[in-house]
């Protein structure tokens, strides 16, 4: 079968290639999925480039331990492991494989843990469904951690990106008053998702004025002290980005935030999310009810996966970039 593989770290165009590899065999708790689409995320870019370098402690110090790439997926169940009970061959599913899973999803067939899959939302295409798992789970978990609800004044920095555009919609559904920060060309898109105010980061500094109960920062492009200036005295700042130095990435910012939390009433924290069937089912229910939609900026064939990931690397994607597989 065809799959995107890499055997060294570097820019996507230099290290990713399509090769013929053996079809992976699912273990007892795993599912073999015939891939129809793969949503790309900044996390995929970090794994390809090996930056920040701290990630290599998990993925391989000198070269990647696993040659396959891709984590989000939407497709059709091809076969199931002996202990799998929730899906069967022929089911349409979507979900997320683990970073160190048996195979990458940028392939014609991929092995994914049963715990990372759920029925595909009927209201979404395969391409749209593939853009939902990692970004949707991160948005949902972040809003939950911060206690976003009715009347919460929420600012989303990077509101037109993968996590951002879903966070705007989820927060609006929870009754929050959402301000989105994005480029001017994406302002109408973010307004259409429910934001009551949109700040063009190219023309205005969102840290100059205002006060927000929660800030979801998907970009980390402003100094922490400046962002804290527009955070309510008992507000919550969520750090959700791998951006930072080439070695430690966002860790210095996280450490700085933890220290600031100890000496003030503001809460500054990073958060993590992972695949879970019940969370994916909830996202699917919202999509089927028309309460959230996945914006797909563009689709690329498997042969152009490197070019698709280079687009993610620009940091200016409106919604999601998706790789489709015939």
> pLDDT digits over 155-208, tens only?
999 999 999 999 999 999 999 999 999 999 999 999 999 999 999 999 999 999
Domain-embedded: residue 285: no
Domain-embedded: residue 278: no
Strands (E), 271-319: 296-301
| Paired tokens of 61 | 């110090």
Instruction: Supply the CATH number for residue 108's domain.
Output: 3.90.180.10
pLDDT at 193: 98
On the CB side of 173, CA atoms within 13 Å amount to 21
- Mean pLDDT within 18-30: 95
Are 101 and 59 in contact by the 8 Å Cβ rule? The answer is: no
Are 84 and 283 in contact by the 8 Å Cβ rule? The answer is: no
Domain-embedded: residue 284: no
| Paired tokens of 279 | 């969370």
Distant-in-sequence, close-in-space partners of 170: CB < 8 Å, separation ≥ 6:
136, 139, 140, 143, 286, 292
Whether residues 168 and 219 fall in one domain = yes
Whether residues 259 and 146 fall in one domain = yes
> pLDDT digits over 292-322, tens only?
999 999 999 999 999 999 999 999 999 999 9
- How far is residue 79 CA from its own chain's centroid? 27
pLDDT over 70, % of the chain: 92
Q: Which of 165, 234, 292 is nearest to 181 (CA)?
A: 165
Helical packing angle, 305-313 and 42-49, nearest 10°: 110
Point out which residues pair with 296 in neighbouring strands.
320
Whether residues 237 and 319 fall in one domain = no
Are 201 and 226 in contact by the 8 Å Cβ rule? The answer is: no
Domain-embedded: residue 279: no
Whether residues 234 and 320 fall in one domain = no
Whether residues 115 and 230 fall in one domain = no
Domain-embedded: residue 277: no
282: left (phi over 0), alpha (psi -120 to 50) or beta: alpha
Residue 247 has pLDDT above 70, yes or no: no
pLDDT-based confidence at 56, cuts 50/70/90?
Answer: confident
Whether residues 256 and 298 fall in one domain = no
Domain-embedded: residue 281: no
Domain-embedded: residue 289: no
Helix (H/G/I), strand (E/B), else coil: 302: helix
| Paired tokens of 292 | 């959230």
CA distance 285 to 28: 28
Hey, what's the torsion of the CAs at 196, 290, 128, 142, to 10 degrees? 50
Domain that holds residue 223: 134-270
Model pTM greater than 0.85? yes
Q: Which of 172, 160, 107, 101 is nearest to 135 (CA)?
A: 160
Whether residues 247 and 306 fall in one domain = no
Instruction: Supply the CATH number for residue 197's domain.
Output: 3.40.50.720
Whether residues 33 and 93 fall in one domain = yes
Distant-in-sequence, close-in-space partners of 236: CB < 8 Å, separation ≥ 6:
145, 146, 147, 213, 214, 215, 266, 267, 268, 269
pLDDT at 284: 98
Q: What is the mean pLDDT of the chain?
A: 92
Domain-embedded: residue 65: yes
Whether residues 250 and 304 fall in one domain = no
> pLDDT digits over 80-127, tens only?
999 999 999 999 999 998 654 457 999 999 999 999 999 999 999 999
CA distance 26 to 32: 6
Whether residues 163 and 215 fall in one domain = yes
Whether residues 152 and 212 fall in one domain = yes
| Count: domains in the chain | 2
Whether residues 235 and 144 fall in one domain = yes
CA distance 35 to 44: 17
pLDDT at 204: 96
In which element (H, E) is residue 119 found?
strand 117-119
pLDDT at 241: 73
């Amino acid at each position: 079968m065809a799959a995107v593989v890499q055997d060294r770290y570097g820019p996507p165009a230099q290290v990713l290639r399509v090769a013929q590899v053996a079809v992976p065999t699912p273990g007892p708790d795993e599912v073999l999925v015939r891939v129809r689409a793969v949503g790309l995320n900044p996390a995929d870019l970090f794994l390809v480039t090996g930056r920040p370098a701290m990630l290599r402690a998990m993925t391989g110090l000198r070269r990647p331990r696993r040659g396959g790439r891709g984590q989000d997926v939407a497709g059709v169940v091809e076969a199931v492991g002996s202990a799998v009970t929730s899906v069967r061959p022929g089911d349409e599913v979507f979900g997320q494989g683990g970073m160190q899973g048996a195979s990458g999803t940028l392939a014609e067939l991929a092995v994914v843990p049963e715990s990372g899959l759920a029925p595909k939302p009927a209201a979404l295409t395969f391409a749209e469904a593939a853009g939902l798992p990692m970004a949707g789970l991160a948005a949902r978990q972040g809003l939950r951690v911060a206690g976003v609800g009715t009347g919460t004044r929420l600012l989303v920095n990077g509101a037109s990106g993968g996590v951002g555009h879903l966070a705007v919609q989820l927060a609006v559904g929870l009754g929050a008053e959402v301000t989105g920060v994005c480029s001017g060309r994406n302002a109408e898109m973010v307004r259409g998702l429910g934001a009551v105010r949109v700040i063009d980061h190219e023309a205005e500094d969102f840290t100059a004025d205002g006060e927000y109960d929660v800030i979801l920062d998907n970009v980390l492009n402003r100094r922490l002290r400046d962002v804290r200036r527009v955070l309510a005295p008992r507000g919550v700042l969520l750090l959700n980005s791998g951006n930072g130095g080439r070695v430690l990435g966002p860790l210095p910012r996280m450490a700085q935030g933890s220290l600031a939390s100890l000496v003030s009433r503001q809460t500054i924290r990073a958060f993590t999310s992972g695949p879970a069937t019940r969370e994916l089912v909830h996202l699917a229910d919202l999509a089927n009810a028309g309460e959230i939609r996945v914006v797909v900026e563009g689709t690329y064939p498997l042969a152009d996966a490197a070019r698709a990931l280079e687009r993610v690397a620009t940091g200016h994607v409106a919604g999601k970039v998706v790789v489709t597989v015939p």
